[in-house]
């Protein structure tokens, strides 16, 4: 992202803008910090682990991708909850854009996940694998050929992105999509106005840039991405959380299993829209405020620094702690009450001195410690959570849906899920504060 003012925030209060589901882009092209060093079957970051499945890879297309079989480093096969069993607390950390631009953030969080046996979802922007010299290959709907609101990466950064995406998949993470040009706002070219047919074009182009990067770059000596993207891609998140209504029919047609583009939701168990699981960013407690904030670094920043990425540094310690505590409060509320899955969105950015990266790492470590102390906490990708919820009995999911925000099951989990004959009966819900503005619709 090069200019936050283009995200449609001018004239809005920061709290209202954040609550309306406005989300930033994938990767900014400024600043640099040293890369950080590196689940079983570790990797070398370039060709994969020493026991890499790429040894028996079947090249696909021009060799940019390869079918290497079942993805390694996956959780145990999910099973249905037993009657009276307490649901696990799922937490999904997701990353928009997933480009590595020399700031070391992509490998930093791969290392963190590996250290704690966790998995994440990386929503890759297709343009991050397309050299700028070939940008006219991109034909964005309602925009000029080659146009992009997030620009293009340098060749070195395209290579670094390939290395980290390869490593991510081999270590068990999910590679979703953040589409391509990141067109937001109210203009004619915004994704907000794209038709289902135009979304189909955008998706096919995003997939093509992943599946044909060797042709587009000429780097035929680099190892392939070790997955079949036609099979791997089962979900995404739209730019700025716009355009979901017209995306969903196309996503369903393409066989996607979920979408994470909803412009804001609550900490309750998910439901389906157009046959896909709907995984929104969620309103979570915002320490020091009477309203809630969406569970994304950009939205917290929009409230704290009025959309500035370089606010005065004296603010940073307090803001960093506030952001970390917001994530921790969201986790704690779900874990101690309805056990709704907790969804967090991030960007590989050094906004306001990198405090949001530090905050999400602090929150991640807090959550991981709970898991390591024996709590049934699972830090997973969206795809892995979808695998779990898809094997649950529909009546159990319906019963879980009756629990409101911050509402523990009456009589405890053993009684609540001992039988599900009353699954369709709606119970009252309680909330912890309100969200500034309306998180349900950014339009």
Domain that holds residue 383: 4-32+75-435
**Is residue 39 in some structural domain?**
no
What is the reported pLDDT for 43?
43
What is the reported pLDDT for 419?
72
**Is residue 399 in some structural domain?**
yes
* 3-class DSSP state of 291: strand
**What are the helix (H) ranges across 2-75?**
14-19
Q: Rounded to an integer, what distance in angstroms lies between the CA atom of residue 203 and that of residue 189?
A: 16
Q: Rounded to an integer, what distance in angstroms lies between the CA atom of residue 204 and that of residue 55?
A: 28
DSSP structure string for 383-406? HHHHHHHHTS-HHHHHHHHT--TT
**Is residue 38 in some structural domain?**
no
pTM: 0.87
For the chain, residues with pLDDT lower than 70 are 1-55, 420-443
**Is residue 222 in some structural domain?**
yes
**Is residue 431 in some structural domain?**
yes
**Is residue 58 in some structural domain?**
no
Q: Rounded to an integer, what distance in angstroms lies between the CA atom of residue 296 and that of residue 7?
A: 15
**Is residue 59 in some structural domain?**
no
What is the reported pLDDT for 56?
79
65-116, pLDDT tens digit by residue?
A: 999 999 999 999 999 999 999 999 999 999 999 999 999 999 999 999 999 9
Indicate the number of domains in the chain.
1
What is the reported pLDDT for 64?
98
What is the reported pLDDT for 53?
63
CATH number, domain containing residue 224:
3.20.20.370
**Is residue 274 in some structural domain?**
yes
CA distances from 376 to 54, 64, 333, 336 (A): 33, 38, 15, 12
């Amino acid at each position: 992202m090069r200019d936050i003012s283009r995200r449609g925030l001018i004239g809005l209060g920061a709290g209202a803008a954040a609550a309306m589901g406005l989300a930033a882009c994938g990767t900014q092209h400024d600043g640099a910090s040293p890369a950080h060093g590196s689940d079983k079957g570790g990797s070398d970051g370039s060709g994969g682990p020493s026991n890499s499945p790429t040894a028996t890879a079947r090249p696909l297309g021009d060799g940019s991708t390869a079918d290497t079989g079942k993805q390694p480093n996956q959780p145990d096969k999910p099973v249905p909850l037993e009657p009276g069993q307490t649901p696990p607390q799922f937490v999904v950390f997701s990353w928009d854009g997933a480009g590595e631009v020399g700031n070391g953030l992509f490998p930093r969080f791969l290392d963190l996940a590996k250290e704690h046996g966790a998995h994440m979802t990386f929503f890759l922007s297709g343009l991050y694998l397309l050299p700028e010299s070939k940008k006219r290959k991109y034909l964005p709907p309602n925009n000029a050929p080659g146009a992009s609101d997030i620009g293009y990466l340098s060749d070195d950064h395209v290579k670094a992105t390939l290395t980290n995406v390869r490593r991510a998949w081999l270590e068990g993470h999910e590679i979703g999509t953040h589409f391509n040009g990141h067109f937001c706002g109210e203009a004619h070219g915004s994704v907000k106005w794209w038709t289902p047919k135009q979304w189909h074009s955008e998706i096919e182009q995003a997939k093509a840039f992943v599946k044909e990067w060797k042709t587009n770059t000429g780097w035929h000596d680099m190892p392939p991405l070790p997955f079949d993207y036609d099979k791997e891609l089962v979900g995404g998140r739209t730019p700025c959380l716009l355009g979901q209504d017209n995306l969903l029919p196309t996503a369903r047609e393409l066989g996607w299993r979920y979408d994470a583009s909803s412009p804001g939701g609550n900490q309750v168990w998910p439901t389906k829209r157009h046959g896909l699981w709907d995984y929104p960013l969620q309103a979570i407690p915002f320490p020091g405020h009477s309203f809630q904030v969406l569970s994304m670094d950009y939205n917290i920043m929009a409230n704290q620094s009025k959309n500035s990425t370089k606010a005065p540094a004296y603010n940073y310690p307090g803001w960093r702690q506030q952001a970390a505590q917001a994530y921790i409060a969201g986790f704690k509320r779900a874990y101690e009450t309805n056990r709704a899955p907790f969804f967090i969105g991030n960007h590989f950015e050094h906004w306001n001195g990198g405090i949001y990266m530090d905050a999400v790492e602090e929150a991640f470590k807090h959550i991981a410690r709970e898991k390591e102390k024996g709590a049934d906490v699972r830090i997973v990708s969206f795809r892995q959570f979808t695998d779990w919820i898809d094997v649950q009995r529909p009546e159990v999911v319906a019963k879980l849906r009756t629990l409101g925000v911050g509402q523990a099951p009456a009589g405890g989990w053993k009684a609540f899920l001992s039988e599900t004959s009353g699954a369709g009966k709606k119970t009252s819900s309680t909330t912890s504060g309100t969200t500034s503005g309306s998180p349900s619709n950014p339009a």
